[in-house]
């Protein structure tokens, strides 16, 4: 009985901490409809709308044809393109923004060669959208490729039999069947676009996220910040619902009885070289140039870097990432226990609401956490504001969906027959779950931890707003250097983030691809 009371109390405590900041934003935003004063909401809405439209267009233009040629054709260099296509996710958009500004803007390393006039600037919506797209297109590429791999080869072979060429097969067969994957990937990319702070701040773009940050940290106009946050919340809920509905749609896939594999279209030398060139451009500009230029800056200033700041930032990033990762895993394991063994229907919707945190920009979550901690300080004898608690809480709210989904995918593969068998021999659900089921999904747990850790390391706005005094991570130190036009002194910070993220992303991409291909071969 005492054990049940403890579990229930823990469940409600976790629920309160995870959900209350979002609820605060909702009610405060509604309450600010008539109280917000000097607010230029239309400017920020228009700025975000422009960014979303441009990113949508560029991302789809890059990723869908790339997914098609890498999956359905054969040409020299295809495997190289395939390996590197996912790696731009390892370069946070704000690092690319800092690198290209250092390269191309007046006074930059290449500006005197390519731009002889003083008026050239990257700091506009087009270049901001381009840099974001180069970092985000792998979302759409990966899910589109998975959709193409999963649908039945019979349709491809039928199209070939009817005399359809590669282009017609792409338009009439593959594209319609891959639409759910394209839409799901695009929804994720747009969530990240709206969430973006680093590029918007550095380039001076008027977006909703930047507006919230400015109203909190500079203008100190909380009613306006709440109203902008409410607008973002509504947009993100709409995108989240759209993404979830798309994922739930029936997709074409290989039936268990099918043993049909498509034959790849063989491209000649000329077409292959052309495809290799075009397919390599987003990789070159999205990954290779930022990586090598950052490495060049590091080597050029290796004797001038502040290594004490680097080591301090690295240890802080590792500490925060580990804490957030472990907490997310603990909470996800606990919530999934209730989800697996509870007969209550609401638990399914509860998990979806919890996962909504990933769709919310960091500045919105930070605002909700700030108000929560401020109210706590009023009723208690000590304050949690400007402490590591607020920072970790906001990061857990933002990233809990990653660990939830990772553990969910692992638990789906563990049959319910284990639950029934354990119940028949008199074992308690908790014993079955923690001693039998959890050991079987340890790889999913490890994957969830690593993905949360990676996202924590590169997270910028939450850390900027909620970090304790004189507390820097790799991302915030890099932000401070770049804000003072000293990106070269943060090159080691940027290089560490890129290499670490790229390694983890490459690892997971190979695991996913091997699982998909082995499934089809079987």
How do residues 18-76 score in pLDDT, each as one tens digit?
Answer: 888 888 888 888 877 776 555 567 788 888 999 999 999 999 999 988 888 887 778 88
Query: Are residues 466 and 394 in contact, defined by beta-carbon separation less than 8 angstroms?
Result: yes
Q: What is the average pLDDT score of the chain?
A: 81
CA gap 114, 199 in Å, rounded: 23
Task: Please indicate, yes or no, if residue 132 is contained in any of the structural domains.
Answer: yes
**Within a 10 A sphere around the Cβ of 386, how many other Cβ atoms?**
15
When comparing pLDDT for 263 and 502, which is higher? 502
Task: Please indicate, yes or no, if residue 258 is contained in any of the structural domains.
Answer: no
Find the domain containing 86 and state its range: 32-252+268-293
Burial letters for 476-489: b for 16+ Cβ neighbours within 10 Å, e otherwise?
A: bbbbbbbeeeebbb
**Within a 10 A sphere around the Cβ of 513, how many other Cβ atoms?**
17
Query: Are residues 137 and 91 in contact, defined by beta-carbon separation less than 8 angstroms?
Result: no
Do residues 387 and 515 share a domain?
Answer: yes
CA gap 133, 286 in Å, rounded: 9
pLDDT in tens, 266-298: 777 888 888 888 888 999 999 999 999 999 999
Number of domains within the chain: 2
3-state secondary structure of 265: strand
Do residues 276 and 359 share a domain?
Answer: no
Residue ranges in 342-473 assigned as alpha helix (H): 346-355, 362-379, 388-412, 417-424, 429-432, 438-440, 442-458, 461-466
Query: Are residues 188 and 52 in contact, defined by beta-carbon separation less than 8 angstroms?
Result: no
Strand partners, 241: none
Q: What is the CATH number of the domain that holds 200?
A: 1.10.3720.10
Task: Please indicate, yes or no, if residue 3 is contained in any of the structural domains.
Answer: no
Task: Please indicate, yes or no, if residue 12 is contained in any of the structural domains.
Answer: no
Do residues 109 and 60 share a domain?
Answer: yes
Do residues 288 and 304 share a domain?
Answer: no
pLDDT in tens, 101-121: 888 877 777 766 655 555 567
pLDDT in tens, 113-170: 655 555 567 788 899 999 999 999 988 888 888 777 766 556 666 666 666 666 677 7
CA gap 171, 184 in Å, rounded: 19
- At residue 511, the pLDDT reads 66
CA distances (Å), origin 398, targets 187, 356, 357, 395, 471: 17, 8, 5, 5, 20
Do residues 233 and 325 share a domain?
Answer: no
Residue ranges in 255-306 assigned as alpha helix (H): 269-283, 289-300
Do residues 286 and 306 share a domain?
Answer: no
Do residues 244 and 286 share a domain?
Answer: yes
Query: Are residues 207 and 47 in contact, defined by beta-carbon separation less than 8 angstroms?
Result: yes
pTM: 0.85
CA gap 136, 63 in Å, rounded: 10
| Residues in the chain, overall count | 522
Task: Please indicate, yes or no, if residue 7 is contained in any of the structural domains.
Answer: no
CA gap 341, 304 in Å, rounded: 58
Do residues 245 and 307 share a domain?
Answer: no
- At residue 513, the pLDDT reads 59
CA gap 296, 262 in Å, rounded: 44
Task: Please indicate, yes or no, if residue 483 is contained in any of the structural domains.
Answer: yes
Q: How many helical (H) and strand (E) elements, i.e. helices and strands, does the chain have?
A: 25, 2
Task: Please indicate, yes or no, if residue 370 is contained in any of the structural domains.
Answer: yes
Do residues 385 and 273 share a domain?
Answer: no
Mean pLDDT computed over 428-456: 81
Do residues 237 and 311 share a domain?
Answer: no
Task: Please indicate, yes or no, if residue 15 is contained in any of the structural domains.
Answer: no
Do residues 334 and 472 share a domain?
Answer: yes
Do residues 282 and 304 share a domain?
Answer: no
């Amino acid at each position: 009985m005492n054990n049940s009371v403890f579990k229930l109390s823990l469940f409600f405590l976790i629920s309160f901490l995870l959900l209350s900041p979002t609820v605060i934003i909702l009610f405060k935003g509604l309450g600010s409809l008539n109280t917000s004063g000097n607010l230029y909401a239309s400017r920020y809405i228009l700025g975000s709308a422009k960014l979303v439209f441009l990113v949508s267009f560029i991302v789809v233009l890059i990723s869908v044809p790339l997914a098609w040629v890498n999956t359905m054709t054969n040409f020299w260099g295809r495997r190289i393109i395939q390996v590197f296509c996912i790696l731009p996710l390892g370069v946070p958009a704000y690092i690319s923004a800092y690198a290209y500004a250092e390269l191309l803007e007046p006074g930059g390393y290449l500006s005197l060669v390519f731009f002889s006039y003083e008026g050239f600037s990257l700091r506009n919506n087009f270049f901001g959208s381009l840099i974001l797209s180069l970092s985000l297109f792998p979302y759409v590429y990966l899910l589109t490729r998975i959709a193409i791999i999963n649908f039945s080869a019979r349709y491809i072979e039928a199209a070939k039999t009817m005399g359809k060429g590669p282009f017609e097969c792409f338009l009439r067969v593959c594209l319609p069947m891959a639409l759910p994957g394209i839409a799901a990937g695009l929804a994720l990319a747009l969530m990240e676009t709206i969430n973006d702070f680093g590029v918007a701040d550095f380039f001076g773009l008027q977006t909703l996220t930047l507006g919230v940050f400015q109203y909190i940290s500079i203008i100190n106009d909380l009613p306006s910040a709440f109203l902008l946050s409410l607008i973002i919340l509504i947009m993100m809920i709409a995108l989240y619902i759209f993404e979830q509905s798309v994922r739930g749609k029936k997709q074409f896939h290989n039936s268990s009885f099918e043993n049909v594999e498509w034959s790849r279209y063989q491209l000649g030398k000329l077409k292959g070289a052309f495809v290799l060139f075009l397919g390599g451009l987003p990789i070159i500009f999205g990954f290779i140039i930022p990586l090598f230029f950052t490495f060049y800056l590091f080597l050029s200033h290796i004797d001038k870097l502040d290594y004490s700041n680097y080591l301090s930032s690295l240890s802080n990033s590792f500490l925060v990432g580990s804490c957030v990762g472990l907490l997310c895993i603990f909470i996800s394991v606990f919530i999934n226990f209730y989800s697996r063994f509870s007969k209550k229907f609401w638990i399914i919707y509860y998990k979806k609401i919890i996962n909504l945190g990933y769709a919310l920009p960091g500045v919105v979550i930070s605002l909700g956490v700030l108000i929560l901690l401020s109210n706590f300080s009023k009723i208690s004898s000590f304050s949690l504001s400007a402490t590591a608690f607020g920072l970790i809480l906001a990061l857990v709210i933002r990233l809990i969906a990653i660990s939830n989904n990772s553990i969910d995918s692992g638990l789906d593969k563990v049959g319910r027959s284990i639950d029934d068998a354990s119940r028949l021999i008199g074992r308690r659900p908790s014993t079955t779950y923690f001693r039998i089921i959890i050991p079987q999904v340890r790889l999913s747990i490890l994957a969830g931890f690593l993905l949360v850790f990676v996202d924590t390391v590169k997270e910028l706005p939450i850390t900027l707003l909620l970090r304790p005094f004189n507390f820097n991570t790799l991302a915030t130190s890099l932000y401070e250097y770049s804000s003072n036009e000293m990106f070269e002194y943060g090159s080691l910070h940027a290089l560490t983030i890129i290499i670490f993220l790229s390694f983890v992303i490459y690892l997971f991409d190979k695991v996913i691809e091997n699982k998909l291909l082995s499934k089809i071969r079987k």
